[in-house]
A and B are shown apart, each in its own frame.
Chain A
């Protein structure tokens, strides 16, 4: 069994991270009734004897004493991390796992990447090494950050290169929140494109998400919950957005509901690696099956169902609806329409009381309406995990390597060019030591090359499958 370390960077990264740890604890508490520290919990948590001072308190077996998250929290302002440390999760984090500063990055990628990168490099590395040493077999770093700001975007991507150099065998999965159209940070296109170059070069897998899509999903749930449809009631705690407690219309903090969706995504992604099932899927299999070429590693995700109806007996029709929804553009966590674009590969990670025949039936049913690239017509990867998420009887996470990411990148590039042509706000970046205009031009080139790859793939849509020459052997 392997372990993963979560590195949460910046305000957005830490707020999502906080939701993730809360949900992870609840999930394991629901599954692990006896309070024994087992391999499933050990993937994200250490078991520590708090009476032991210093570093020697790890307990590898037996009853749970005190769980500590395998996490490193990084922010160049103190506000968010301080709030976490005063909240209900304060005991889950080790004070040794935090790196904070006071002034913040001013929504400036260059400050996050160049200034704080060099200032905190050694400290961050030391904390990461410590966290890695506590792992028996570290398999993956999960980085959570936003693209549009300064710390998450700049320092977060600085980390990526460092992780690749220092821990080359460990996978780097990045959850990136992309700026929406109505983003309030003017320089977000600059920050995002500078960050994209790093993601292109140093990430194994990126899960792009945008706030607008998350918001639309929340609205849809609210509508469903409040519509009072005859004969349906939503099970409490079953919303993909719910944190502790029953249905809540207004959340303590504005982004809580949206962050919980991302937290659910990360838990479902790792469920088949942590829990048993009839068809397991480890994290290294995600990269292996879904990334046919190293640079095409952007995976659009969708989580269904958004809520569970209170019916105890779920007939196959409802189950099939879960599969259909996974491919609808309204359920994607990014503004994207995979059904009308081209699939390079698709993973279906199912949790709960679903069997192989259900999977087969639905893949056969949905295949005709989906377009796969000619050289990977059977590009499906599936997994079955026995343990459903809290409050659900079954759920589905779909990961699509699909050309539908392209519009997001194209729009980002356009917004960038609108600013860059006028050199607007550029001086804020260029005055940072180590920053030159070439950083910008290289970043745009990198993105343009990526867009071009997707264009070439799209051009093959609707083309007949080629007759491939066979190698002939002298018999």
Chain B
């Protein structure tokens, strides 16, 4: 069963590249704690899920690259080709020339052009997991995120939220990187995301991989369509240098994860999370949970949104392209409802 990835915009394409690169490198790596037979089964499952095979043996990522201007897509395509290990499909891109100018309103007009490209990807699964990356990089972010979040909430089965600030801290404190680049941040994210989607053992037997990982994930973590926001923690995080010198056991890792879960719960004043799932993949340990900070996170976005909206600052940039004040208020209303639901837990 395969997974199709749609990489959107500069962020999506830069991270997407790192994910596929990490997945392939990981499945080829000789390091590991498993037997040769286990490794081979894992490699096959991984490849089949994320890549399709080409004639001369170079796997093609099951992905669609979308951007409103060509620089990043061109860069991503050539980086993949240069690796020699894998590449993107020749016709897997949808690109325009002008860019979106950080303006959410540019987007909707392209929906019809995009649909065929995604539908044509073979082996689509039924569920949609949207991955949302957050950092304050753009002034009109609060407007764009209200519109994005409200639309994603309606159309996705689940949202996985990542905060760049948290990843930045991991790079600085746990991995000791001095001058942190986006490449460093994206590689940590890719490691996390790769761990999410890598083949995992099913409950029956350790040689059978789960056939429908996303479906299983949703079943455990999204009990009700109102609660779609997820976050993920994974360990271990360490620089390549330290890896050679450390030893860890599964028991130790699981204990660490449990502690992380409990300490988070404390910050929520003792309320229990609505669900968590521990996933054991052959290489790393993952903790998936309902995004316990969904309430505060959405609220922070709202504050920024209201500050701008109260003066109608930048609104003229959106109305030029057909997004009206009502659209913002509709988006806000939906998200206010989500906050209320999370707060009532």
Whether chains A and B associate is yes
Task: Report which A residues bind B (CB closer than 8 A).
Answer: 1-2, 39, 136-137, 139, 276, 278-280, 282, 284-285, 287-294, 345, 355-358, 360, 374-382, 384, 465, 468, 470-471, 473, 475
Residue B316 is within 8 A (CB to CB) of chain A in the complex:
yes
The answer to whether B182 and A468 touch across the interface, beta carbons within 8 angstroms, is no
Complex Cα–Cα for A465 and B307 (A): 9
Known: A356-B182, A375-B308, A475-B337. A289 touches B332 (CB 8 A): no
Contact A375 B103 (CB under 8 A): no
Q: Do most interface residues of chain B lie in helix, strand or loop, or is the interface mixed?
A: helix
CA A230 to CA B306, docked complex, whole Å: 54
CB-defined contacts of B304 to chain A, threshold 8 Å: 378
Q: In the complex, what residues of A have CB within 8 A of residue B306's CB?
A: 468, 470
What are 13 inter-chain pairs, A to B, with CB distance below 8 A?
A276-B75, A284-B99, A293-B313, A293-B316, A355-B181, A357-B172, A357-B181, A376-B307, A376-B308, A381-B138, A475-B337, A475-B340, A475-B344
Residue on B with the closest CB to A363?
Answer: B136
Interface residue B97 (Cβ < 8 Å from any Cβ of A): yes
Q: Which residues of A contact B337 (CB under 8 A)?
A: 473, 475
Decide: B307 and A468 in contact? CB cutoff 8 A. yes
Contact present for A357 and B180 (CB under 8 Å): yes
Complex: how many Å from CA A384 to CA B71?
14
Contact B168 A291 (CB under 8 A): no
- Asked if B307 contacts A356 (CB within 8 A), the reply is no
In the bound complex, do residue B139 and residue A345 qualify as a contact, i.e. CB atoms below 8 Å apart?
Answer: yes
Distance between Cα atoms of A79 and B220 in the complex (Å)? 78
Taking a contact as CB atoms closer than 8 A, the residue among B10, B136, B140, B168 that contacts A280 in the complex is B10
- Complex Cα distance A294/B318, Å? 12
Residue pair B138, A289 in contact (C-beta under 8 Å): yes
**Contact mask for chain B residues 141-185; partner A; CB cutoff 8 A; 1 contact, 0 none:** 000000000000000000000000000100110000001111101
Interface string of B308-345 (1 = CB under 8 A from A): 10110110110000000000010011001100110010
Q: How far is the CB of A180 from the nearest CB of chain B, in Å?
A: 32
Partner of A39, one of B70, B138, B185, B313: B70
Query: Cβ of A288 and Cβ of B102 under 8 Å apart?
Result: yes
B103-144 with Cβ < 8 A to chain A: 103, 136-140
Query: Which residues of A have CB within 8 Å of B72?
Result: 276, 280
Give the distance in Å from the alpha carbon of A384 to the alpha carbon of B340 in the complex: 38
On whether the beta carbons of A374 and B307 are closer than 8 Å, the reply is yes
1/0 contact string of B277-310 vs chain A (CB within 8 Å): 0000000000000000000000000101011101
Q: Are B10 and A279 in contact (CB under 8 A)?
A: yes
Chain A contacts of B102 at CB under 8 A? 284-285, 288-289, 381
> What residues of chain B lie closer than 8 Å to A473, measured between beta carbons?
333, 336-337, 340
Instruction: Knowing A376-B307, A376-B308, A378-B304 are in contact, say whether A284-B183 is a contact too (CB < 8 A).
Output: no
Q: Which residues of A contact B308 (CB under 8 A)?
A: 292, 375-376
Given contacts A375-B313, A468-B306, contact A276 B336 (CB under 8 A): no
B48 within 8 A of A: no
> Would you call B179 and A468 a contact (CB within 8 A)?
no
A-contact bits for B75-118, CB 8 A (1 contact / 0 none): 10000000000000000000001111111000000000000000
Of A278, A279, A379, which contacts B139 at CB under 8 A? A379
Counting CB contacts under 8 A, is B14 at the interface?
yes
Partner of B97, one of A2, A288, A475: A2
Contacts of B310 in A (CB 8 A): 375, 468
A289-B138, A377-B307, A379-B139 given; 13 more Cβ-contact pairs under 8 Å: A1-B97, A2-B98, A39-B70, A136-B97, A279-B182, A280-B71, A284-B102, A285-B101, A292-B313, A357-B172, A380-B139, A381-B137, A471-B329
User: Bound state CA distance, A378 and B72, in angstroms?
Assistant: 26
Report the bound CA distance from A380 to B101 in whole Å. 15
Q: Which of B69, B139, B183, B332 contacts A376 (CB 8 A)?
A: B139
Task: Tell me which residues across on chain A come within 8 A of B14, comparing CB atoms.
Answer: 278
Q: What residues of A have a CB within 8 angstroms of the CB of B168 in the complex?
A: 356-357, 360
Question: Taking the nearest CB of chain B, how far is it from the CB of A59, in angstroms?
Answer: 19
Q: In the bound complex, how far is the Cα of B137 from the Cα of A288, in angstroms?
A: 13
Are A288 and B103 within 8 A (Cβ)? yes
| Chain A min CB distance to B335 (Å) | 10
Interface string of B6-32 (1 = CB under 8 A from A): 000010001000000000000000000
CB-defined contacts of A294 to chain B, threshold 8 Å: 316
Residues B317 and A288 in contact, CB atoms below 8 Å apart = yes
- Roughly how many angstroms separate A367 CA and B139 CA in the complex, as a whole number? 15
CA distance A294 to B312 in the complex (A): 11
* 8 pairs of A and B residues whose beta carbons are closest in the complex: A284-B101, A357-B180, A292-B313, A278-B182, A137-B97, A355-B181, A282-B99, A289-B139
Tell me which of B70, B314, B317, B336 contacts A471 (CB under 8 A): B336
Provided the pairs A39-B70, A280-B72 are in contact, do residues A288 and B140 lie with their beta carbons within 8 angstroms?
Answer: yes
Contacts of A356 in B (CB 8 A): 168, 180-182, 185
Chain A residues contacting B101 (CB-CB under 8 Å) are: 282, 284-285, 287-288
Shortest Cβ gap from B149 to chain A (Å): 15
Question: Known: A280-B72, A287-B101. Is A375-B316 also a contact (CB below 8 A)?
Answer: no
Determine which residue in A2, A285, A288, A471 has the highest number of CB atoms from chain B within 10 A of its CB, and name it.
A288
Contact A289 B340 (CB under 8 A): no
By beta carbon, the residue of chain A nearest B313 is: A292
Note all chain B residues with C-beta closer than 8 A to A284: 98-103
- Give chain B nearest CB distance to A252 CB in angstroms: 37
Which residues from chain B contact A276 at a C-beta distance below 8 Å? 71-72, 75
Q: How far is the CA of A293 from the CA of B314 in the complex (A)?
A: 6
Contact check, B180 vs A381: say whether CB atoms are below 8 A apart: no
Give the chain B neighbours of A282 by CB distance below 8 A.
69, 98-99, 101
Residue ID in chain A nearest B10 by CB atoms: A280
Expressed in whole angstroms, the Cα–Cα distance for A379 and B143 within the complex equals 13
Residue of A nearest to B100 (CB): A284
> Which residue of chain B has its CB nearest to the CB of A378?
B136
**Which of A280, A287, A380 counts the most chain B CB atoms within 10 A?**
A280
* Distance (whole angstroms) from the CB of A152 to the closest CB of chain B: 29
- The reply to whether A384 and B182 form a contact with Cβ atoms under 8 Å apart is yes
Q: How far is the CB of A278 from chain B (nearest CB, A)?
A: 4
Chain B residues with Cβ below 8 Å from A139 are 98
